[in-house]
Amino acid sequence: MKFINIGYGSMVSSDRIIAVCSPESAPVKRMVSDAKDTGRVIDVTCGKKTKAVIITDSDHIILSALTSEAISERLFEGGAEK
């Protein structure tokens, strides 16, 4: 099991990540809004602007202040499969 730093000391298991998205599109905004209504959002931005939305296999949505590109680089560094 490999953990990925998603900003401000927060980590997530790389095995649980399904997708890393930009928060700008309308479908992603709806997904985040629906998840907030049902209590499935984990906000690790520490009050900063959300720059990436991480979707997990447990149907939780994680909001990060790191860009999706930065998270993707961390996900695939260290010999992980591409």
pLDDT per position as a tens digit, 11-66: 999 999 999 999 999 999 999 999 999 999 999 999 999 999 999 999 999 999 99
60: left (phi over 0), alpha (psi -120 to 50) or beta: beta
Residue 77: what pLDDT? Answer: 82
Q: Please give the angle made by the CA atoms of 27, 30 and 35, to the nearest 5 degrees.
A: 125
SS3 state of residue 58: coil
Query: What pLDDT does 78 receive?
Result: 54
* 68: Cα within 13 Å, side-chain hemisphere: 13
Q: Which residue's structure tokens are 């992980």?
A: 80
Is residue 16 domain-resident? yes
Task: Identify whether 81 is part of a domain.
Answer: no
Higher model confidence: residue 65 or residue 81? 65
Total domains in the fold of the chain: 1
- Decide the pairing of beta strands 61-64 and 52-56: antiparallel
Q: What is the pLDDT of residue 36?
A: 97
Distance CA(54)–CA(21), nearest Å, equals 6
Q: Which domain holds residue 46?
A: 3-76
Domain assignment present for residue 82? The answer is no
